[in-house]
């Protein structure tokens, strides 16, 4: 993760993680709303990090995520993305705009929701095999 003073100097994307988006859409909506109130224009990024096409990110941008896999994969794959963990961003800005009661709810919900560390190599191999088979 790199450091820079103004997080809003680049387009900002919120990549909650595909599993979290699928299992906890209301929670994702709450976090998105929080980030929107904090930064204004923010884009919701709903693609799965494991199946994402590396040619999609030509612009320099900030990716804020709740998912460990997204953080790791996007951070390792794209040199032009400035990765931020949501909780690190929240720690920086919570004095300006706190979540209040929703913070405890969000933290407890995230503990019970699968989000993170998918077997990337296995899934990519499976996807490549499926893609080769389906285009025969």
pLDDT value for 42: 92
pLDDT above 60 (res 119): no
How high is the mean pLDDT of the chain? 79
Domain locations in the chain? 9-119
pLDDT above 60 (res 127): yes
**pLDDT-derived band at 35, boundaries 50, 70, 90:** very high
pLDDT above 60 (res 115): no
pLDDT above 80 (res 93): yes
Tens digits of residue pLDDT in 39-89:
988 999 888 887 776 556 678 889 999 888 888 888 888 888 889 999 899
**pLDDT-derived band at 1, boundaries 50, 70, 90:** very low
DSSP secondary structure string for all residues of 45-103: --S-TTT--GGG--S-EEEEES-HHHHHHHHHH-TTEEEEEHHHHHHHHTTTS--THHH
């Amino acid at each position: 993760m790199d450091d820079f003073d103004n997080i809003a100097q680049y387009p900002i994307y919120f990549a909650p993680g595909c599993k979290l988006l699928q299992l906890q859409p209301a929670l994702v909506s709450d976090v998105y709303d929080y980030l929107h109130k904090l930064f204004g224009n923010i884009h919701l990024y709903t693609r799965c990090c494991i199946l994402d096409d590396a040619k999609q990110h030509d612009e320099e941008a900030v990716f804020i995520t709740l998912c460990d896999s997204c953080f790791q994969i996007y951070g390792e794959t794209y040199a032009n993305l400035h990765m931020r963990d949501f909780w690190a961003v929240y720690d920086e800005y919570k004095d300006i705009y706190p979540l209040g009661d929703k913070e405890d709810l969000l933290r407890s919900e995230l503990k019970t929701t699968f989000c993170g560390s998918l077997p990337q190599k296995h899934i990519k191999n499976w996807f490549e095999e499926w893609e080769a088979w389906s285009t025969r």
